[in-house]
Structure 1
Amino acid sequence: MSAPPPLSPGRVWAHVGQPFAPSPYDVAVVGAGRMGAAAALFLRQRAPALRVLLVEEGGLPNEEGATILAPGVWSRLGLDPALHPAADWTRAALQALGDVGWESRPLVTLHAGAAPGRVPTLEALAPWPDSLALVDPAALPWAELDRDAATYRPGHAALHAAQAAIRAGADLLLNTRAAPQPGGRLCLERLTVTNTHQIVTHETLTVPARAVVLAAGAGGPGWPNARWACTPATPAPTARPRTSRCPARRRARSCARGLTLRPQHGAYTLIPPLHGRDPHGYQPAGGQLTGVPTGLRRETLEDLVALMDALPVLATDALHLGRSLADVPGAWLALPGGRPEGLPTFEVLDEHTWLLLGGPQADTLGLHAAQGLAEAVAAALA
Structure 2
Amino acid sequence: MTSPAPSSGRVFAHVGQPFEERAYDVVVLGGGRMGLAAAFYLRTFQPDARVLIVERGGIPSEGGLTGVARGVWTALDLPSAWKARARWTRGVWRDPASETGVRRPHDPPFHEVGVAALSEHGEDAARFLARLPQEHRILATTLLDFERIGGAVFDDTGGYGSATTLALSYGYGAVRLGADLLLNTEARLTNAGVEVRRLDITSTMQIVVAETHNVTASHVVVAVGSEGPALLEHDLGVVTTHGRAYVQFPRLELTAPSDFPVLRRSGFTLRPGEGGLRVLPPVRGADPAGYEPVGGRLVGVPVGVRREVIDDLLVALPDVPAFESDKLDLGKAALDVPGAWEARPIGGWPVWERVSKNVSLLLGGPEADRVGLSVALDFAATLSGARGRPWEDRA
Deviates more, 1:61-70 or 1:206-215: 61-70
Quick one: which of 265, 272, 293 aligns to 2:274? 265
The more displaced of 351-360 and 371-380 is 371-380
By how many angstroms is 1:330 displaced? Answer: 4.3
Contact in 1 for aligned 2:304/2:337 (Cα 8 Å): no
Residues 282-319 of structure 1, C-alpha deviations (whole Å, 9 max, x = no match): 323349xxxxx984333221110111111111111112
Question: Residues of 2 paired with 1:150 and 1:220: CA distance?
Answer: 29
Matches within 5 A, 1:235-246: 239-246=248-255
Range moving further from structure 2, 358-367 or 70-79: 70-79
How far does residue 104 in structure 1 lie from its aligned partner after superposition? 1.1
How far off its partner does 1:378 sit? Answer: 1.6
Q: Give the aligned residue type for 1:15.
A: H
What is the match of residue 290 of structure 1? none
**What is the aligned partner in structure 2 of residue 231 from structure 1?**
244
- Is structure 2 residue 217 aligned with structure 1 residue 209? yes
Matched residue pairs, number?
A: 359
Change (3 A) 1:152 1:24: same
Displacement of 1:66 in angstroms is: 6.1
- 1:48 is matched with 47
Tell me how far 1:214 sits from its aligned partner. Answer: 1.0
CA contact under 8 A between 1:242 and 1:268: conserved in structure 2?
yes
Query: 1 CA distance for matches of 2:200 and 2:363?
Result: 27
Map of 2:118 onto structure 1: 110
State the alpha-carbon separation in 2 of the partners of residues 323 and 26 from structure 1. 48
Q: Percent identity?
A: 39
Q: What is the deviation of 1:267?
A: 1.5
- Aligned-partner Cα distance in 2 for 1:355–1:379: 18
Shift of 1:222: 1.9
* Aligned-partner Cα distance in 1 for 2:254–2:124: 24
Q: Do the aligned partners of residues 63 and 44 (structure 1) sit closer, same or farther apart at CA in structure 2, a change above 3 Å counting?
A: same
CA-atom RMSD, angstroms?
2.7
Q: 1:71 Cα shift? A: 6.5
Instruction: Pick one of 356, 360, 373 that aligns with 1:354.
Output: 360
Counterparts of residues 233-312 of structure 1 (less than 5 Å): 239-248=248-257, 251-286=260-295, 295-312=304-321
- Return the alpha-carbon distance in structure 1 between the equivalents of residues 333 and 166 of structure 2: 25
Q: Which amino acid aligns with 2:373?
A: L
> How big is the shift at 1:79?
1.1
C-alpha distance after superposition, 1:302-361 (max 9, x if no partner): 110111111111111112224667654443310113x1xx32111111111111111112
TM-score of the superposed pair, with normalisation by structure 1? 0.85
- Measure, in 2, the Cα distance between the counterparts of 1:366 and 1:26: 24
The alpha-carbon distance between structure 1 residues 323 and 204, as it changes in their structure 2 partners (threshold 3 A), is: farther
Query: How do 1:75-224 residues align onto structure 2 when only pairs under 5 Å count?
Result: 75-94=74-93, 95=95, 96=98, 97=100, 98-99=103-104, 101-111=109-119, 113-114=120-121, 118-126=122-130, 127=132, 128-130=136-138, 131-181=140-190, 183-194=191-202, 197-224=205-232
- Partners of 1:15 and 1:133 in 2: how far apart? 49
Question: Which amino acid letter does the alignment assign opposite residue 123 of structure 2?
Answer: V
* Alignment gaps of 5+ in structure 2: 234-238, 297-301, 387-395
The more displaced of 85-94 and 367-376 is: 85-94
Separation in structure 1 between the aligned mates of residue 337 and residue 64 of structure 2, nearest angstrom: 6
- Are the structure 2 counterparts of residues 324 and 185 from structure 1 closer, same or farther at C-alpha, using a change threshold of 3 Å? farther
Question: Deviation per CA, 1:188-208, whole angstroms, max 9, x where unpaired?
Answer: 110113465431111111111
Cα distance, 1:250 vs. partner? 5.7
Matched to 1:332, the amino acid is W
Is the aligned partner of 1:343 residue 2:356? no
Following superposition, the deviation at residue 231 of structure 1 comes to 2.4
Q: Which runs of 5+ in 1 are unaligned?
A: 288-292
Q: Please list the CA deviations of residues 153-203 of structure 1 after superposition, one character each: whole Å capped at 9, or x if unmatched.
A: 22122112111111111111111111212x231011101134654311111
Going from structure 1 to structure 2, the CA distance change for 1:256 and 1:91 (only over 3 Å counts) comes to closer
**Residues 238 and 284 in structure 1, CA contact (< 8 A), matched pair in contact too:** no
Q: Normalised by the size of structure 2, how large is the TM-score?
A: 0.83
Counterparts of 2:14 and 2:335 in 1: how far apart (Å)?
23
User: 1:284, 1:294 within 8 Å by CA — same for their partners in 2?
Assistant: no
Deviation at 1:75, TM superposition (A): 1.6
- Residues in 1 aligned to 2:43 and 2:222: alpha-carbon distance in whole angstroms: 17
- Greater mean alpha carbon deviation, residues 192-201 or residues 260-269: 192-201
Q: Which amino acid counterpart does residue 334 of structure 1 have in structure 2?
A: A
- Once the two structures are superposed, what CA deviation does each residue of 1:93-141 show, in whole Å capped at 9, x if it has no partner? 3422335512211111112x33xxx112222232131211100012222
Contact kept in structure 2, 1:343 and 1:358, CA below 8 Å: yes
How far 1:230 sits from its partner (Å)? 2.7
Question: What secondary structure does 1:87 align onto?
Answer: helix
Query: d(CA) in 1 for partners of 2:52 and 2:309?
Result: 40
Q: In 2 relative to 1, CA 284–11 (structure 1 residues): closer, same or farther, beyond 3 Å?
A: closer
Partner residue in 2 for 1:332: 341
Q: For residues 358 and 133 of structure 1, do their structure 2 counterparts lie closer, same or farther at Cα, with a shift above 3 Å needed?
A: same
Partner of 1:29: 28
* Secondary structure of the corresponding residue to residue 54 of structure 1: strand
Asked if structure 2 preserves the Cα contact closer than 8 Å seen for 1:70 and 1:329, the reply is no
Q: Structure 1 residues 7, 51: closer, same or farther in 2, change over 3 A?
A: closer
User: Could you say what secondary structure the match of 2:340 adopts?
Assistant: coil
Aligned-pair CA distance for 1:65: 6.5
> Match of 1:371?
377
Match of 2:393 in 1: none
Contact 1:66 1:72 survives alignment (8 Å): no
Counterpart Cα distance in 1 of 2:361 and 2:69: 25
